[in-house]
């Protein structure tokens, strides 16, 4: 039987072997005492297996409260960190993505044998991955829809995040469209509040987008936030389609894997996945998920774009983590068709373009700026222009300051945003 492999970084006051076995038992056929119905044959067919253990450092204090040293342990135990590789029979869950989450990230997080546990990688059998919806558009499909093939997708966020009426939102979109963006998204804080319901907002937004396309031939993608319960999302999806909308946005942790899957099954529009709340799963290094493991679940569920923060962002994530996350999004799980477009955002302007390009190694990404466009001293058109100029410089290998000598929008941005970087 094919097996699902999951790698954990654990911390334990016990022997790592005992802690690993505790995970294997909890997440498969074992319980805290022997029972007659857990036969040798059943355990062989359905039990989890500890494949490998690599011991790391030893620390004096637990990372998390509540762990219990084994009986007879020293009064002041030490805590061993280790990387543990476990495998689970795929037959235990079939091809259910929701039950995969329970299998690899369930009650193991509250085992008293552990003072830290983090899921750091996930490897799935080909038949499991093939049974999932996966991205409908991904990198190449998004590029085809927008007609942008030789540079990053340059986009912006509607600002302010909340408080605008549908008409005011439409005015902001018109400004951004005329400024030359490829992509516009709602902020995660606005979905369908009473003052700006999706069915009202989408009509005001798509009007300038459609007029611009008719006049110039350029398609601009608008990711409308349809986050809600499943019925609400489907109703909002229908409103977006009726208005000629071309992208949906959802807050992943709010709608869950089942919500994303349902939307993917019912829709023929790209799904823009926002990861707000991700820090709750990742900020403690001894708890939660690595992005390497977590992003695979959402790609299999059907998203086409995934946020990864940005280099020199306004949050806590390191540049190394951001770059690694982006590369993971571009790395196939089972086939090239399941790659998705990483979305760089958070305090981005042209000043990070060189580092982003050199670190990721390609332009298969979205580069979104809120203040980096809206806040440009010469207005949004100059904001978009300076981003494109910054990326032109990066792709040509020309230093930013040198390129700015012949590009006014970029020079002004360096003078302004350089103080904020």
Over the range 159-196, which residues count as b (16 or more CB within 10 Å of their CB) and which as e?
A: eeeeebebeebbebbbbbbebbbbbbbbbbebbbeeeb
pLDDT for residue 76? 80
pLDDT for residue 284? 96
Nearest to 183 by CA among 233, 147, 228: 147
8 A C-beta contact, residue 312 and residue 319: yes
Find the mean pLDDT for residues 164-192.
97
8 A C-beta contact, residue 83 and residue 56: yes
Give dist(CA 6, CA 27) in Å, integer. 12
Q: Would you give the distance in Å from CA 395 to the centre of its chain?
A: 25
pLDDT for residue 33? 56
- Please report which confidence band the pLDDT of residue 347 belongs to, taking 50, 70 and 90 as the band edges: very high
pLDDT digit string, tens, across residues 190-235: 999 999 999 999 999 999 999 999 999 999 999 999 999 999 999 9
- pTM, two decimals, is 0.94
pLDDT for residue 31? 58
- Please report which confidence band the pLDDT of residue 75 belongs to, taking 50, 70 and 90 as the band edges: confident
pLDDT digit string, tens, across residues 388-404: 999 999 999 999 999 99
Average pLDDT value for the chain: 95
The share of the chain scoring above pLDDT 70, in percent, equals 97
pLDDT for residue 235? 98
- Please report which confidence band the pLDDT of residue 72 belongs to, taking 50, 70 and 90 as the band edges: confident
Structure tokens at 174: 């018109």
Nearest to 234 by CA among 258, 252, 259, 257: 259
pLDDT digit string, tens, across residues 367-383: 999 999 999 999 999 99
CA separation (Å) from 315 to 23, 40, 68, 113, 155? 33, 50, 34, 32, 20
- Please report which confidence band the pLDDT of residue 37 belongs to, taking 50, 70 and 90 as the band edges: low
DSSP string, 257-304: HHHHHHHHHH--S-EEEE-TTTHHHHSSTTEEE-HHHHHHHHHHHT-S
Beta 79-89 vs 49-59: how paired, if at all? antiparallel
Alpha helices by DSSP H, listed for 6-77, are: 16-26, 40-46
Find the mean pLDDT for residues 162-187.
97
The share of the chain scoring above pLDDT 90, in percent, equals 92
Residue of 29 and 190 predicted with greater confidence: 190
């Amino acid at each position: 039987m094919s097996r699902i492999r999951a790698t954990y970084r654990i911390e334990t006051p016990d022997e790592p072997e005992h802690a690993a076995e505790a995970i294997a038992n909890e997440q498969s056929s074992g319980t805290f005492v022997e029972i007659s119905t857990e036969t040798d044959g059943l355990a062989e067919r359905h039990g989890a297996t500890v494949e490998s253990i690599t011991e790391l450092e030893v620390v004096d204090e637990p990372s998390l409260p509540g762990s219990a040293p084994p009986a007879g342990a020293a009064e002041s135990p030490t805590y061993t960190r280790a990387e543990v590789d476990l495998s689970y029979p795929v037959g235990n869950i079939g091809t259910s993505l929701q039950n995969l989450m329970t299998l690899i990230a369930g009650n193991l997080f509250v085992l008293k044998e552990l003072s830290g546990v983090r899921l750091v990688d996930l490897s799935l059998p080909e038949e499991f991955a093939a049974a999932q919806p996966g991205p409908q558009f991904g990198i190449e499909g998004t590029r085809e829809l927008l007609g942008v093939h030789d540079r990053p997708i340059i986009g912006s966020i509607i600002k302010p995040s909340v408080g605008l009426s549908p008409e005011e939102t439409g005015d902001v979109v018109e400004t951004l469209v005329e400024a030359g963006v490829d992509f516009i998204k709602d902020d995660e804080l606005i979905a369908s509040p009473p003052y700006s319901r999706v069915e009202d907002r989408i009509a005001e937004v798509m009007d300038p987008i459609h007029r611009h396309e008719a006049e110039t031939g350029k398609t601009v993608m608008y990711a409308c936030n349809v986050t809600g319960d499943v019925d609400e999302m489907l109703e909002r999806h229908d409103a977006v389609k009726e208005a000629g909308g071309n992208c949906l946005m959802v807050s992943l942790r709010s709608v869950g894997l089942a919500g994303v899957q349902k939307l993917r099954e019912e829709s023929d529009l790209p799904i823009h996945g926002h990861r707000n709340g991700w820090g709750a799963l990742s900020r403690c290094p001894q708890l939660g998920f690595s992005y390497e493991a977590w992003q695979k679940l959402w790609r299999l569920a059907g998203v086409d774009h995934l946020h990864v923060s940005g280099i020199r962002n306004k949050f806590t994530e390191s540049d190394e983590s951001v770059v690694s996350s982006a590369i993971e999004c571009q790395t196939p799980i089972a086939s090239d068709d399941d790659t998705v477009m990483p979305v760089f955002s958070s305090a981005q302007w042209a000043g990070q373009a060189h580092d982003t390009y050199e670190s990721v190694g390609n332009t298969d990404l979205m580069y979104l700026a809120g203040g980096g466009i809206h806040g440009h001293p010469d207005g949004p058109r100059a904001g978009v222009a300076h981003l494109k100029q910054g990326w032109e410089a990066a792709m040509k290998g020309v230093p930013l300051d040198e390129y700015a000598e012949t590009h006014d929008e970029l020079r002004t941005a360096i003078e302004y945003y350089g103080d904020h970087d």
